[in-house]
Amino acid sequence: MMKIKIYQINTGRDDERLAFMGLDEIEHYTNSKGIDSSIYDCVFDGEVECEGLEDVYQRFNIDHPDGYKGRSLSVSDVVEVVESEGVESGFFYCDNIGFSKVEFDPENAQALKDEKITVLMVEPGKKAYAKEIGTSLEELYRVLDCDCIQTFYPYQDLVVIVCDDEGKINGSKPNRAIYGEDGKMMDVICGKFFICDCSTERFKSLPDDMMQKYKKQFFMPERLVRINGEIMAIKYDPEREAVR
């Protein structure tokens, strides 16, 4: 068991774009071996069943623990070992290869806030609508009613579809068809999904122009039917059907 904290660079404060750089790259770029802790957020503070830093790396890439608010552990992240039987206490930089012990001032880092973003929410049987959601993993799971999310990038725009990774096999209702740039159906999403901005490594609010574009595309719910051996999506108005 290890008691640790994890710090990740907040790209909003990363004016020199140091995120995902190894220590040698940072030294070459900034002419300094120092780590600027003021651009870091604390994204985890707790205990994990790990024996060493490599175990921590695997855990925070494969099976994120509850309460983790960051992205998968990567180069430029800093792991603080608070208590551990097998690893000395201190701050360890996730480098291109392994971890390197560094000087780091946690008092200059900030606690990661559960940011709110506005997304286009698309549910089976409902008209698409704008919704404000949090960005923690727990909040994303709650919004999508799932235990594992999947990201899908079918468009040239810097937007991402976030959906239930197991929607097609867990009995979720068919939702909307997804079409490629050539207009051909490329996939069908089952269960809820939302669309947001993906211009950075963190999910962001959908810009107004993209909100209008994709709201128009996904506004009406669809029925997926098979005609002459082909699956077709037929839009319908749920309010009119409710009157019937």
Q: Report, as ranges of residue numbers, the positions in the chain whose pLDDT lies below 70.
A: 67, 113-114, 242-244
Phi, then psi, of 124 in degrees rounded to 5: -60, 135
If phi > 0 it is left, if psi is from -120 to 50 it is alpha, else beta; for residue 40 that is: beta
Task: State the pLDDT at residue 128.
Answer: 97
Q: What residue ranges do the domains of the chain occupy?
A: 2-111, 116-243
Neighbours of 225 (CB within 10 A): 11
Task: State the pLDDT at residue 242.
Answer: 64
C-alpha to C-alpha distances, 90 to 40, 99, 182, 225, 228, nearest whole angstrom:
16, 12, 54, 59, 65
pLDDT in tens, 156-199: 999 999 999 999 999 999 999 999 888 889 999 999 999 999 98
Task: State the pLDDT at residue 114.
Answer: 66
pLDDT in tens, 97-119: 999 999 999 999 988 766 789 99
Phi, then psi, of 94 in degrees rounded to 5: -75, 105
Residue among 26, 109, 95, 20 nearest 57 (CA): 95
Tokens matching residue 229? 């051996």
C-alpha to C-alpha distances, 44 to 6, 41, 58, 200, 230, nearest whole angstrom:
5, 9, 15, 21, 48
3-class DSSP string for the chain: CEEEEEEEECCCCCCCCCCCCCHHHHHHHHCCCCCCHHHEEEEEEEEECCCCHHHHHHHHHHCCCCCCCCCCCCCCCEEEEEEECCCCCEEEEECCCCEEEECCCHHHCEECCCCEEEEEEECCCCCCEEEEEECCHHHHHHHHCCCCEEEECCCCCCEEEEEECCCCCCCCCEEEEEECCCCCEEEEEECCEEEEECCCCCCECCCHHHHHHHHHHHCCCEEEEEECCEEEEEECCHHHHHHC
Residue with tokens 């206490």: 89
